Amino acid sequence: MPNSSAIEESKVPLLDDLCSTIQSNNNEDGHDCHDLVQRVWFESKKLWHIVGPAIFFRATNFSMILITQIFAGHLGDLELAAISLAYNVIIGFDFGLLLGMASALETLCGQAFGAQKHYMLGVYLQRSWIILFLCCVLILPLFLYTSPILKFMGQPSIVADLTGVVAMWVIPLHFCLGFLFPLQRFLQCQLKTGVIAGVSLVVLVVHVIISWLFVYVFKLGVIGTAATLSFSWWLLGLGLLIYTLFGGCPLTWNGFSIEAFSGLWEFTKLSAASGVMICLENWYYRILILITGSLNNAEIDLDALSICMSISSWQMMIPLSFFAGAGVRVANELGAGNGEGAKFATMVSVITSTVIGFVFWLVIMIFNDTIDLLFTSSEPVLEVVDKLKVLLAFTILLNSVQPVLSGVAVGSGWQSFVAYINLGCYYLIGLPLGYLFGWGFHQGVTGIWAGMIFGGAGVQTLILAVVVYRCDWKKEVEKVNMSAEKWEALGRN
């Protein structure tokens, strides 16, 4: 166990470093900042301390994959198709599942850090490593049998075979994700976000250099691009690990512990619920693209939808970062026993993200014609994109609210409950409505997208908003205290 006196003397970022944290437990009225503007300012600084680096982290990760696709594209159309297919189908599934399972740490580490039970963060990290490593082993056949799987899905043999080769070379990346995602959540929950952004920037620069060497100097072809991707992600993970092991986290990392092997079943259930919750959302939008591919005018519709999804994906880096920020802030406050602080953090997170989403909504509505030309000059495609403009704008606005509410759910430990909501809204309401509007009402890609967005994501967002609005935050604090005692008991046993 860590030295208690060391903990008392140490400065904890949650309580000391971030602009005089609201100490609600010491005041009868629940907060020490009577001025609302000042409270919003304090909370915004703490929120952006997480969100800003998170946006940068996501942007650099996305850029590494984009750079890899660019180098593959210079090799040839076949190589680009193989890299793109491997990323969108195989690695995309991997990302969603492992990232979702690692989100369990946002609940446990965030709450433990708020409660100043720093020693438990290291134990939770090690438990997550164990669970995600076993998960990586279980889904390894997806990489080993990529080629026959893609052929079964109707992909051309030449593309499927080369994608299978790429999949073999990104197996190290597959295992890296199970190691990196928990480590990133571990650091994020204790507000060590600057190091995440800094290491990401260094790795991005190295990735560009290594990609050039492997493709143009060593002439390794598509294998070189895949190997570079695995190398760069492991470099990112090792950089964060070195920081953690060698003095970066003196309070929360106290070496490897046998406690990590206790309570694994309970930890697995929470990780699985987190994984299902995230995957149900991730797969939903991929299904949208697959359904569009079965339309009569599929080529043009797919091109138009891909342009819209590209724009939406770039913008989604911001609300997904608010997902992380809201989860950490709510978990920190609940762990500290501050239910009102968790409620206020929720309000500030939702409002801030919504305002940013509204700005992007205006940009899409006003400058849509200019943005389209960055992707294509095809008149038929531009006509379809113009029809989808309003849907794209409202999707961006809706996605500025939904991820934040999901982040609040993660910070509060509601993953299992939200997984059921996602299943019902997305797959029992959204998909049937998409089919009905697309084929029954003959609205094509516009009808499919409208049905799936407003019927699925819209209803889900509305339900989450009602749940968060009616939440009794005092009871949530009591639940967190009971949960913390359970996890500590599991560790002792």
- HEC-encoded secondary structure of 145-158: CHHHHHHHCCCCHH
Angle at the Cα of 311 from the Cα atoms of 449 and 229, rounded to 5 degrees = 115
List all residues 6 or more positions away from 147 whose beta carbon is below 8 Å from its beta carbon.
160, 161, 163, 164, 167
Share of the chain above pLDDT 70, in %: 88
Give the closest residue to 92 by CA, choosing from 286, 322, 302, 293. Answer: 286
How many angstroms separate the Cα of 238 from the Cα of each of 190, 193, 198, 233?
19, 16, 13, 9
pLDDT value for 206: 95
Cα gap 264→107, rounded to integer Å: 16
Encoded tokens for 34: 């009577």
The dihedral built from the CA positions of residue 364, 366, 368 and 370, taken in this order, carries a sign that is negative
Q: Residues 193-218: pLDDT tens digits? A: 899 999 999 999 999 999 999 988 99
Highest-pLDDT range among 54-58, 206-210, 288-292: 206-210
Cα gap 129→376, rounded to integer Å: 43
Confidence of residue 52 (pLDDT cuts 50, 70, 90): very high
Cα gap 415→418, rounded to integer Å: 5
pLDDT value for 405: 94
pLDDT value for 274: 87
Q: Residues 232-246: pLDDT tens digits? A: 999 999 999 999 999
- Over the chain, what is the mean pLDDT? 84
Q: Residues 428-452: pLDDT tens digits? A: 999 899 989 988 888 888 888 899 8
Confidence of residue 277 (pLDDT cuts 50, 70, 90): confident
Q: Is pLDDT of 301 > 90? A: no
Give the closest residue to 327 by CA, choosing from 407, 418, 415, 270. Answer: 407
Q: Got the DSSP string for 305-350?
A: HHHHHHHHHHHHHHHHHHHHHHHHHHHHHHHTT-HHHHHHHHHHHH
Confidence of residue 34 (pLDDT cuts 50, 70, 90): low
Q: Residues 60-113: pLDDT tens digits? A: 888 888 888 788 878 887 887 788 778 777 787 888 889 889 988 989 999 999
Residues 171-182 have a mean pLDDT of 95
pLDDT value for 86: 81
In this predicted model, which residue has the larger pLDDT, 3 or 112? 112
Cα gap 395→401, rounded to integer Å: 10
The H or E element that residue 410 is part of is helix 402-412
Q: Residues 361-401: pLDDT tens digits? A: 998 888 877 776 766 677 888 888 888 888 888 889 998 99
How many angstroms separate the Cα of 472 from the Cα of each of 175, 325, 334, 476?
40, 21, 12, 6
Lowest mean pLDDT: which of 17-31, 67-81, 113-127, 331-345? 17-31
Give the closest residue to 139 by CA, choosing from 181, 104, 170. Answer: 170
Q: What's the half-sphere exposure (Cβ side, CA atoms, 13 Å) at 311?
A: 30
Question: What is the Cα 185 distance to its own chain's centre?
Answer: 10
Q: Is pLDDT of 22 > 60? A: no
- pTM to 2 decimal places: 0.83
Count the helix, strand and coil residues of the chain and give each as a percent rounded to the nearest 5: 85, 0, 15
Q: Got the DSSP string for 31-46?
A: -S--SHHHHHHHHHHH
Residues 7-23 have a mean pLDDT of 39
Q: What is the 3-state secondary structure (H, E, C) of 152-180?
A: HCCCCHHHHHHHHHHHHHCHHHHHHHHHH
Cβ pair 124, 112 in contact under 8 A: yes
pLDDT value for 329: 94
Q: Is pLDDT of 259 > 60? A: yes
